[in-house]
Amino acid sequence: MNEKGAGYTMRRVLAFALCALLLLPLASASEAGINKVIDLSGTPIAAIDTPSVSHDGDVFDIAVTLSDEAASNGTTVAWTWQVCINTGVCLTPVPENLSGSEDGREWSATMTPVETHSYVNYKVTLTFADGNSSNYPDTGFGGKIWSDCWVAGEESGGGGCSNGDGGILPALGLVGVLSALGLGAAVIRRD
């Protein structure tokens, strides 16, 4: 009987752990709806310009301006962007080179967010003339631009949602179903 009880307890622990892992992306969204910018102090980057809001299916532009010294020494610019959607899933990050101006000071690129996205993450990579490169920030994504219709956990907003009131979107229904299935799996008892 103890082995049977131990197996039941283990299944319950595994079911709860699975539910927690499924909900982690939604729970980890800090400061929902508030854009983040990369701290440029002490970097060879003079400015980064992006839209203040991203829109499903509309072009998202990024423009990076280098310092005079970085522009004159052959530094090139790339970025890595990632789109996260309203179900709490983030798509694979996409590294991409930016196009530079003749003087090497202005660099730009575009991408187009998918439908029902919550936000766009990004970071910038500089490659110097000696072949070394640096990411800004060093780890993770430093920039985050929220969409005009986002969902993060139980919060939603942006003013551009098709339901007109910025209310909770269907992604939360998915979270509820997954939670109920996990809870059901945890309490099912085999004789």
**Dist. CA 178–CA 19, nearest whole Å:** 7
Average pLDDT over residues 20-41: 71
For 100-135, how does the pLDDT look when each residue is reduced to its tens digit (9 = 90+)?
999 999 999 999 999 999 999 999 999 999 999 999
Alpha helices in the chain (DSSP H): 2-27, 68-72, 171-187
In angstroms, the Cα distances linking 34 to 22, 52, 120, 146, 150 are 23, 10, 12, 7, 11
CB contact at 8 A, 117 and 149: no
Residue 144 confidence (pLDDT) above 90: yes
**Residue 161 binned pLDDT confidence (cut-offs 50, 70, 90):** confident
Question: What was the pLDDT predicted at 160?
Answer: 86
Higher pLDDT: 88 or 165? It is: 88
CB contact at 8 A, 109 and 62: yes
Question: What was the pLDDT predicted at 3?
Answer: 58
Locate 139 and state its tokens: 């780890």
In angstroms, the Cα distances linking 33 to 29, 157, 166, 188 are 9, 7, 12, 38
Residue appearing with tokens 């919060």: 155
State the pTM of this model: 0.71
